[in-house]
Structures are given as C-alpha cells and as structure tokens.
Structure 1
C-alpha cells in the first residue's frame, strides 16, 4: 500500500497507465526469478531465510535514504459490493473463480511438484515457468480482448486454463517436459483472467468509478482465495496431489461455463466504449488509482472523491444498458 500510494502520487497523468503496467510486469517477472533462489542453498539450512531478510533490508534502503517528499494518503472510495453484479456479472464470476483456483496453485504448486518426484531445481523451474507464462502472454491476450468481446476472451482463456490443468493431471509423473510446458500454459491463461474481468467491468461504468469497481473485484478475489487452499488440502489428503490441478481445472471450467451462459443474456460492449487493457496487479486499491482514467483536475471538479457509486448505477443506467 505504501509503495503504490507513493507511485500514485508521483506519477504524471499521461504515463499512469504505462507505469501501472510496468509495475505489474516487474512484479510478475521478479516472482518468477525469485523461484531460482531455492537453488542457492540447502532447504534445511538458515541461509535462505537469511537471504530473504537481507534482501528485504536492502529494499528498504532506497526508501530510507530518499529525499523525495513523503506520499500523501490517497482518498479511498467506498466499496459497494452489491452494485458489482449490476456492472458486470461476468467479472464477478471470473474474479471468484480465479480466487478459488489460483490460490490453490500458490499454496500447493511446490507440494504438487515435490509429490511428483521433482528435485528442488526442477520445482524452482516449474514454478518459474508458470509465472513467466503469465508475464509473457498477459499483454497479448489482454490486447486481444481490446479487439473482441472481452467476455468471450475471458471464457476461452478460463477454458484453456482448465484444459491445461487437466493436462497436468494426465502428464504428471509421465513426461517432465510436458509438465513444464503445461505449467507455462497454465500460468499464461490462469493469471490473465482477472485483468480481463477488471477491464470488462470498467468498460461498463463511468471512469471515476474505476477504483471502486476494481477494488470490489479485488476484494472478491481475496475472499474466495481464503477457501481454495482449504478445499484443495482436503482433496489432496484423501485423493492425492493430482487433485490440486484437478480442482483448478474444475473451477476454471465451471467459471468458463457460467461466463458462456451469461454472454447470451447481454449484448457485447461496443468497441467505442472500451477502455484500453492494462496489466493490473492483485495487491491493493492504491494500484488501481494509477490507472484511474479521470484527469485529476476533472475529478476535483466533480466534487466528493467518494462519489456515490450506487447512485450512478441506479440513476444513469436503465435496465437495457447494464451489463
């Protein structure tokens, strides 16, 4: 929150979206490269914990030594969860499905690889390739959603994540190369669904509600992330480690099915009403303010920064215009 608030205050309006994308991409790539630190020292020793502590301390040095002014707290808009369904049911379904499925990977991905007989070096490579898949294809898939119906792209990507998970269940313990390739594809699809859902939701509402909508979807993602690992732990206990990707395949597949059903009930968003796709980190609401498309001066003229989100939805959209 501190980092993102600082970036938000210092970023000029004309590069805010680019800065958010770069910030997200750097975070994803560093997560992937960090997996290789497991190769540096034995897992049973103190060295890896010390390395993390030293790295964290070094990261604090630029902040401690800077002469730049401190960030001013950013006003936080109110979250109105009941209104998200009016904005985009597809985005709500996608965020919940991604929270359930992807949190299981974060919690049990290394355990799955270890139970499949991988050495520490192979586990690091598997996790890194999965994260790099998300970093490599998030932008191309996102821009594809700029050209076509985002809901259809989100449904297809969720279905592809489901198929990748099923492939990992089938090839685990049979072909190490196939597992690595499928891990890359799983990350490429599974980590792309949430940004597309956020972009679609913001296509449907006024720009000044970008932060409120994105924050609400982030809350749904975080809340559902609490339960995915719990369900996966039970499945692994009784049915074995293959059920981790079996669970993600089921959740992503169910999410894709629901999205395809919902598509039939609403017309697609006209291209003229779409916002440009941006990479969006799943961190805090302050990050989303970096891509607030409303000019700061215009926003100030609009009045209260905590504009009535519900009032906008209920007053300015009729039933046919809602998505």
Structure 2
C-alpha cells in the first residue's frame, strides 16, 4: 500500500482537496439554507439537484474525454466548480441554488471520472485493490475534514464558500502537474435493465434503495440538523459520524462478505442500519445517541453498496460485469435523485422525524426483500464467489468498473486474506 501512495500521491492529494471542498459545500448549503429561511421542501430540491447533475455527468463525461482529452475536461469542469462555489452566497434563491447544484454535481462527477481514470490507469492487477481502498479512505477523510472546517467557520458569511472554492482550485495543481493523458475510454455495450434485474433482482432493488439512503444523509443531514436546532459544530459532528462509521466498518464487513452468504449479510446490515435510524428517531433530543445512530447508519449503508455489487457479480460471467456497471450506476443515480425529494416531503409532513423515518423505511424494505430473495434460489458456494472491493455509493463508472476488474482478477485462486 505504501508503494501505491508513493507513486500516486499527487492524485490522492488532489482528490483529498476536492473532497474537502465537496464535503464542506454540501453541509454548508444545508446550514445556510436554514439561515436564509428556505423551507425543507425547497432544500430537498436543492440537494436533489446535485445527484441529478452527478448522474448526467457520469454518463456524459466519458464522451467529453474522448473528444477533447482528460486534461481539458478536468480543468474546465474544475473551473465550473470553483465558480459555482463563490456564486452560492451571492444568489440566495432556492431555485437558483438548485440550478447551481445541478451544475456542480455534473462537474464533480466529471472531475471524479477523469481522476479515477488516471488512478485506474496507474494501477496494476496487483495494486488495483489497494488503490481502490486508499481512494475510498481519501474520500471519507476529505468529507470529514470538510465538516471540521465548517465547525470553525461562520456559515452566514462568504469565507467558507471562498475557502471551498480555493481548495478545489488548488487541487488542480498536484493532479495536472503529475499526470499524462490516459488512453481513451473503451466503449462498453450496456446491459439492459431487464436483463440485469433477471440476473440479480436483489442487486438492482438494493442499489436503487441505497442510492436514496446515501443521497439523504449526504444531502439532507445538515437540513435535519438545522431543523432540530443543532449548533454548527454539532451538525459537523453529526455529518462526520456517517463517514467515520463508513470507513471503520468497510473492511471488516468486506472480509466477512467473502466468507458467508452475501444475502444474509445484506439482510443483517439493513436491519442494523434501520435499527440505527429508529434509535435516532426515538432519542432525537439526546445528541450523543444521534451521533451513535449516524455512525451505525453510515457504517452499514456505505459498505452495503459494494456488497450488492459483489453479490450481483456472483451471478454473472466475467465478460458481462463491465456492461452491468452502467445499469447499476443508473439505478443508484435514480434512487439518489429521488431520496432527498421524498425525505424533504416527509420532513414537511412529519417534521424532523421524516429524516429518520425515510432511512428506516428504505433499510427495512431492503431487509424484507433480501429475506424474500433468499427463498427464491440458493446461494452460490462461498468458494465460488469473488472478492469484495471497497466502492462507495458516490462512485462513478470508472471506479465501479475498476472494482469489477479487481473482482475478475481474484475469481481464481482466492486467498484467505482477500482484502487489500
């Protein structure tokens, strides 16, 4: 792992700065929206806009890269991000913010696609798993660091927006000064959703549901904190707990998934995550319990996405896995766009309780569906399944396909310690 960091540290540094800026702006908007008097429903449209743009960016950026190259796409979209970040506090209108969030979601998605393609191009079959693991850790650390900046800043002013913009701008330097253009994207014929669902109904349904859950805690956590009267440092800690749980539990869950029926693990993680949401619902007034609830939710939802990809791969031929990636990302993206909207409606109808009601409902539905699927067909033998690769719900097509490559590389001769 040290070798991977040594050869790709400029990329990881640039990605870290990008994630700090992204983590900061997402939570900052949720807090600032409350200061500006935006309603919960209005903020749900703002937060959903990011995922709509992200979905579009993940589908269109490969074509942009094929036409003008990685460096130009990275620099152009990064410039859009910096510009949007400083526009937020100057145009304090929820519908203008929604448009800006679509733009910034598209741009972040494109930047991630480009940076992930450089990372994947620099990885070998032996280091791909380690590269994915480090990339996941960098993402989580960056988001948590962004919450730390929010805790010591003033969300009512301009400075935090400027800091986020500067971080994104500075992130270009280590990336663009250290990489060379990578080969053009190979065109992968997508698999139809009908065929994908026939191969893995649980993978499809679970990916859609988790897209909604992830978008809700990524986009609506700060809105929830503002609605319940949490202070800015408390909101920062509240959001951080999600990602700390995700990074600490990702690898133990990955190890376990390679040793048991993955549907059983999906079931129990969904139940535990849903129980965490119920805990937050019941003990909303106790901040320490809220932190524990978000740690549990983040620690289950983040690994569940990679677990569902691994489960889907268990029923596929290796040559079909890349084609399936696009379908799973599309389902995840549709779920992500709808999650904040439904949560915003629920919070408007039931107050702050709607936040945890939505998360609990999504996770318990996933658990129930996993139970039903276990009655429909037997699980493959553990010795015949592939190796879990850490991928977050925010991953683009490049990261997911890299995980698929890692999965294929380890189909034969699985070792006893498959995690990077």
Same fold per superposition (TM over 0.5): yes
Aligned length: 293
Q: Does 1:272 align with 2:383?
A: yes
Residue 341 of structure 2 is matched in structure 1 by: 230
- SS of the counterpart of 1:78? coil
Cα RMSD over matched residues? Answer: 1.5
CA distance in 2, matches of 1:228, 1:63: 33
TM-score normalised per structure 2: 0.67
* Structure 1 position 64, deviation (Å): 2.9
Higher relative contact order (CA 8 A, sep 6+): 1
* Structure 1 position 257, deviation (Å): 0.2
CA distance in 2, matches of 1:114, 1:69: 44
**Maintained 8 Å contact 2:152/2:233:** no
| CA shift digits 1:210-249 (9 cap, x unpaired) | 2222332121111111111111111111210111111110
* Structure 1 position 102, deviation (Å): 2.3
Residue 158 of structure 2 is matched in structure 1 by: 46
TM-score normalised per structure 1: 0.87
**Maintained 8 Å contact 2:242/2:296:** yes
Residue 309 of structure 2 is matched in structure 1 by: 198
What does residue range 5-154 of structure 1 map to in structure 2 within 5 Å? 5-66=117-178, 68-80=179-191, 81-154=193-266
* Structure 1 position 33, deviation (Å): 2.1
Residue 303 of structure 1 is matched in structure 2 by: none
- SS of the counterpart of 2:180? coil
Summarize the Cα distance change of 1:24–1:76 in structure 2 as closer, same or farther, 3 Å threshold: farther
- Give the one of 229, 233, 241 matched to 2:352: 241
CA distance in 1, matches of 2:284, 2:365: 23
- SS of the counterpart of 2:388? coil
- Gaps of at least 5 residues in structure 1 are 296-323
* Structure 1 position 65, deviation (Å): 2.2
**Maintained 8 Å contact 1:157/1:189:** yes
| CA shift digits 1:80-100 (9 cap, x unpaired) | 222111221111111111112
Residue 164 of structure 1 is matched in structure 2 by: 276
Higher share of residues assigned helix = 2
Which deviates more, 212-221 or 233-242?
212-221
* Structure 1 position 29, deviation (Å): 2.2
* Structure 1 position 183, deviation (Å): 1.3
Runs of 4+ in 1 over 4 A off after TM superposition: none
What does residue range 286-301 of structure 1 map to in structure 2 within 5 Å? 286-291=398-403, 292-293=405-406, 294=408
**Maintained 8 Å contact 2:325/2:401:** no
Which deviates more, 212-221 or 121-130?
212-221
| CA shift digits 1:14-59 (9 cap, x unpaired) | 1112211221222122212211110232111111011111111110
- SS of the counterpart of 1:186? helix
CA distance in 1, matches of 2:242, 2:125: 33
Q: Does 1:181 align with 2:292?
A: yes
